Structure 1
Amino acid sequence: MKLLYITESVPNRDPMLGDGSSMIPFEVLRNLPGEVAVTLLTFAGPVDVPAEIRSRCNAVHVMPTRSRAWATVLSVFGLTGLGKHERSTAKAMAIAAQLSGQHDATLIHGPHALFLANAVSGPLVLQTVDPWSVRAAMDTAIARTLRPAYRAREFLALLAERRLPPRARLLTVGAADARTWSERLARPVRSVPNGAEESVRDAARQNGPVACFVGSLNYGPNIDSANVLIRKIAPLVWQQVPDARFVLAGRRPEASVQALAGPRVEVLANVPSVLAVFHSADVAVFPDEHGVGIRNSVREALAAGLPVVATPVAAREQDPHPLLAVEQDTEGFVDQVVRRLTAPGRHRPSPGGGSVRTWRAVAEDYLDEVGSAIRSGSAGLPSGKSPA
């Protein structure tokens, strides 16, 4: 199979500059079977194409983007996203159209690249971590001011999504998001959850009990969760475990998160590996009050053999797991955290105790969708013709 893979960001796992939209294609490319010949079309950014991604692909095309100032002007007058206008150059659309005709199918990843769906030909699969309209609805729900503007943004996002080609197969990460998006667009949407890799948890390296919170610390819902954890949960935990330490780890922490640091609170920015954080903690805590998709850091903590205490929002769509405790009530949440911080043998390595979804399984699901798109495209062709 010859696959054109279009991504809105260079596939990477950079601890500071990467995100969900760069992580997923990075892992998918690493785990696609060798018989899939991949051409990567992506957009220039702060991270170069990693050597292992270049070596995996038959060809790599990195498109230049518009200046942010000019893209901002287009965004204001076009009433659509800044990220799209940075990427929607005539050259990108021409290259995508040309390459799609030379491949069996096209897989486009990321909401800021979906505009290319109308430029490419042939079988087509579209994936977005958080559908624009679903993410915009969450922003509307939590907005404290300018709610009419947020509603208008939500409406425009939905309008753009309804213009996606009918032949395209639509994918997102969370099952709830897939159902919502399907209802909004009146067309099928499949959920393809992210993966994680199992690892053996070493004995905790700190002398005292440690609880950790991991996530992008420049993302609104995570900023709120970090503040809830340190200002609301931690003081109640300290009443019973005075020497407990809390570690907040993630990329690009906002000033309000950095301000939470103190004698018993450590903020770790842009950690090279979250596994090191998980392996040195006794429990991972996620007191989320809102969010969309699936919280991948919960799955990664469980895969690392670390007990997790989470609210129902944070544990959304996670399979039952012996190391996962789900608590909505603040008192119950605190009790679960204290129990794990004071458990006998808490420093001993913890086996995962439950299966985790691997990135190889994720890549297989994407490949299954691409195959279905090819078969659907072949259905109407004369005998002996191929979609390529």
Structure 2
Amino acid sequence: MTTTTLSFIRKEMTPPQPAPSSEVGVWHWVRTKLFPTPKDTVLTVLAIAFLAYILPPLIDWLFIHAAWTGTSRVACLTVAQGGALPNDQSGACWPFISAKFNQIIFGRYPLEERWRPILVMVMFVLLLIPMLMPKAPLKGWNAITLFLILPFVSFFLLLGGRFGLAPVETQLWGGLMVTLILSFFGITVSLPVGIVLALGRRSNLPVIKMLCVVFIEVIRGIPLITVLFMASIMLPLFMPDGWTFDKFLRALVGVSLFASAYMAEVIRGGLQAIPKGQFEGADSLGLGYWQKIRLVIMPQALKLVIPGIVNTFIGLFKDTSLVSIIGMFDLLGIVTLNQADANWATPVTPVTGYVFAGFVFWLFCFGMSRYSLFMERHLDTGHKK
């Protein structure tokens, strides 16, 4: 009689099988992303048709028939207009951007002193890069240097008048430099002030709550143009005799207050999304109010509203162009100002300038948007399904 031994335990793992050819590759992506349903197919075809209609003439105007070199308006004019280009080849006037590039970046800042804003920009980039890296060491010291020390150092460097530096009035500041200063200062101020306002609006103290509600609703109820006019014209009226504020400082105050009101509502939305059990759990641990807010509630609330915070930052960055109405020439304002130069007066000069300014704004806003998505994935709060 023979005995057969049966074994039901696998001793070797089966090697993984490749995915079906229909589930990988370019065709799978096209089928699932562009043509998954009849409705999506129609929308995809319409989108492709629209791009096919708009892109060729756009590329032709921006690059193929554009003027790239020249020292005056003649380089951007056709023969019929008194220039050198063929009559059927009228495109963007990039020599205008090249000739005015320094003014677009620095405004009317003195040429011999432009090493100062360049130094400020280098310090800003060197401090910002490790701040954006989640695993970079010494984040606390980095934040203190970037948000507290750098603004004061930049103020003395750019304004001058001390330490042997020639004074440069803020009326001479302009271009991308002003846009970045306004947006950075507004972002730096609006987040902490917005947190305080949001906490005050949820406070049980009626006076504190009323003051925060009035401030938020009044600021949010009027356009930024009005806030800038108030900061530029009415703010000096509340100062003691003999005291005055620089016009640029008034713009900083107006932009920061406006952004803080919107930021407060974004933060309040995050606070309302926190379950009540988190507050009760923090109370059960014996944490004080500020310990509870700092250690338990606020980290969760800020993670939940990262898209709203970045959206406010992007809106603030674009809204800085409104300071031109009070005599400050930001990126868009300096581009518009340079279009009045008779040496570059052509039919395509204004459009070229606005296209370039729009691209710069888009570049910064797109960068903030992508970093927001990166932070959402990195923090991964667990609220996604």
* TM-score normalized with structure 2 length: 0.22
- Structure with bigger helix share is 2
- Structure with bigger strand share is 1
Structure number with greater Rg is 2
